[in-house]
Amino acid sequence: MLVVKVGGAEGVDLGTVCADMAALAAEGQPWVLVHGGSHETNQVAEKLGHPPEFVTSVSGYTSRKTDRRTIEIFEMVYCGKRNKALVERLQALGVNAVGLSGLDGRLLEGPRKKALKVVHPETGKRLVLRDTYTGTVKKVNASLLRLLLDAGYWPVLTPPAISEEHEAINVDGDRAAARVAAALGAETLVILSDVPGVLRDFPREESLVERLPRHRIEEAQERWAQGRMRIKLLGAKEALEGGVARVILGDSRGESPVRAALSGKGTVIE
């Protein structure tokens, strides 16, 4: 079993990812594709007059400030535009894809964070945000994914997740993919983004960390990882702890990004 996460940053080429996924499917490789949609969500939110805001947690992770209106816009882009574009493209490549969100069949479930401790971007003061629709995936409905896979369908999965109180909640896509990989007993989790992997000297791409033993993940988070890479490493750690044998942080920008990552290009964490 293979789980691939493709981000939603600007310029991520879904065409090359889909081509790779279709070739893998044709070879009989079972997979689940998890995707994001952050950049387009920002654009649509601006146009709809509800511009995006971001907050940084006290532990240093940046995330989208998510009120109820933001969740609706998030769903429009992630579950509507992006998920269906991927399904359409995969169908055209002969893959019988089924697009699902974490709400559907409670595929991704976890507690909602009712109070989010954040740091004010300018003053550095600590604040508590309430009424945010964010959380963390704790449970994956692996049986629904297996039901579909066994019947010849290829799941394309996106946040939001569902809270224990049945609300749509924004969850980190990389960490959600890690949970999915662990729940399915996947051998490999590939997380693609618009950088080559962990860089020792960001943004110098030649400073790529090619191999990272799992016991050095935290060190890599502290010493090298910038921005979103820190949370990808957290996802990698959670996947490995959940029994996934190998996590590859790969580059989404190449001609054959999934293939390249599977052949060891990127930061391979074991």
Residue 267 CA, chain-centre distance (Å), reads 16
CB of 11 vs its own copies, minimal distance in Å: 18
| Residues from 121 through 160 that contact its own copies (CB under 8 A) | 143-144, 147-148, 151, 153, 160
Write the Ramachandran bin of 243: left for phi over 0, alpha for psi from -120 to 50, otherwise beta: left
- The answer to whether the beta carbons of residues 210 and 24 sit under 8 Å apart is no
**Given candidates 78, 177, 233, 239, which one binds its own copies under the rule CB under 8 A?**
78
C-alpha gyration radius of the chain? 18
Residues 6+ apart with CB under 8 A from 229: 193, 195, 198, 199, 202, 249
| Residues from 36 through 75 that contact its own copies (CB under 8 A) | 44, 47-49, 72, 75
Residues 6+ apart with CB under 8 A from 215: none
Of 107 and 209, nearer to its own copies (C-beta) is 107
Of 17-25, 76-84, 227-235, 239-247, which part binds its own copies (CB under 8 A)? 76-84
How big is the CA angle at 231 (ends 227 and 236), to the nearest 5 degrees?
135
Of 26-34, 166-174, 186-194, 254-262, which part binds its own copies (CB under 8 A)? 166-174
CB of 16 vs its own copies, minimal distance in Å: 18
30 binds its own copies, rule: CB under 8 A? no
Task: Look at the block and give the residue holding tokens 């550095």.
Answer: 124
167 binds its own copies, rule: CB under 8 A? yes
CB of 80 vs its own copies, minimal distance in Å: 3
* 115-119 vs 126-130, strand pairing mode: antiparallel
Cα–Cα dist 258/189, whole Å: 11
Which H helix or E strand runs over 140?
A: strand 139-140
CB of 180 vs its own copies, minimal distance in Å: 16
**Given candidates 4, 9, 55, 77, which one binds its own copies under the rule CB under 8 A?**
77
Cα–Cα dist 235/174, whole Å: 6
26 binds its own copies, rule: CB under 8 A? no
Cα–Cα dist 270/266, whole Å: 13
Q: How many residues lie near its own copies (CB under 8 A)?
A: 41
| Residues from 80 through 119 that contact its own copies (CB under 8 A) | 80-81, 83-85, 87-88, 91-92, 96-101, 103-106
CB of 13 vs its own copies, minimal distance in Å: 18
* The residue type at 116: L
What are the residues binding its own copies (CB under 8 A)? 44, 47-49, 72, 75-81, 83-85, 87-88, 91-92, 96-101, 103-106, 143-144, 147-148, 151, 153, 160, 162, 165-168
